[in-house]
Amino acid sequence: MPVEAKVGPSILNADLSDLAQESQNLLNNGADYLHLDVMDGHFVPNLTFGHTLVKCLRNKIKKAHFETHMMVSRPQQWIEPMADAGVNLYTFHIEPVMDEVNDVCRKVRESGMKVGLALKPGTDVTVVQKYVDSADLILVMTVEPGFGGQSFMSNMMPKVEWLRENYPNLDIEVDGGVGPKTIEACAKAGANMIVSGTAVIQAPNQRDVINLLKSSVQKYTNKACTHAN
């Protein structure tokens, strides 16, 4: 069964004072899910928002798929609050909890959420071999986590290629500097879940950009499916 192409705009670049409406607009324009960047000011130097805001957003947007990208030093601390806030997919960085990844995965799953594992650019992709059976998704960061608007790191694409080659049915997400100019590289490498911030949020026509990103991925997933047959 081929993986599905999905686009999840990062709302970090949206107008946070009108987040519910901005998020709804993205969904109306074809977004498959919302990517919520949670930063603690410790694992990364920036500070964004926490479970209380996510819960408020869930109260306004009942049915959308929420992914929280937990750029935090203690991901286990926020599992229950985020589950209570209505998060569907809890993606956390393995770097600060390298010896506890399987335990954190188990707790996330027990809370009713799906599990995502995120890798910083400097982290070797092969470390996920120990944990991939516990995960629903692997996120390959294509910028250093912590700030929006950074340039896409094309040298991360071999990580995506390695994951797709070794785990053909895995959801592989890319995040950072992804937009119309860089989507081809991501799609060709094998990413099927696309996080895009500025390129979608600030686009004159969000629907057109979302459609372009998704169709680029579908082109390569369809090719992979054809070759498999």
Give residue for tokens 């929420």. 66
| Candidate list 32, 136, 171, 175, residue with the active-site label | 175
What are the Cα distances from residue 101, in Å, to 17, 74, 78, 98, 157? 35, 11, 14, 6, 24
Give the whole-angstrom CA distance, residue 108 versus residue 102.
10
| Candidate list 37, 40, 136, 171, residue with the active-site label | 37
> Does 175 participate in catalysis according to the annotation?
yes
> Does 40 participate in catalysis according to the annotation?
no
Closest CA to 157 of 181, 117, 121: 121
DSSP string of 191-206? --EEEESHHHHT-SSH
Give catalytic residues, as residue numbers: 37, 175
